[in-house]
Amino acid sequence: MTAASTPKTVPCPTCGKPVEWSRSQRWKPFCSERCKLIDLGAWIDEQHRIPGDETNAPDEDIRD
């Protein structure tokens, strides 16, 4: 039972930071609410994206 004393960790899907897999980790598998919301936002953005319209869209040039 060598692993008993070592908490299981999983990489945060958003930032890759190790997240302790425990009941106290309410945002698992994310490390924080922020990462959970970021991932959720990315997922929603994916759903709303219009297929075939990527060639004409400026990608990372959006600034204030």
Binding residues (CB under 5 A) for Zn ion: these are: 12, 14-15, 17, 31, 35
Contact predicate 10/19, CB 8 Å: yes
The β-bridge partners of 10 are 19
Q: In whole angstroms, how close is the CB of 50 to Zn ion at the nearest point?
A: 29
> In terms of CB distance, is 10 or 15 closer to Zn ion?
15
> In terms of CB distance, is 1 or 29 closer to Zn ion?
29
| 20 sits in which H/E element | strand 18-20
Q: In whole angstroms, how close is the CB of 29 to Zn ion at the nearest point?
A: 9
Q: In whole angstroms, how close is the CB of 15 to Zn ion at the nearest point?
A: 3
Q: CA end-to-end span of the chain, whole Å?
A: 55
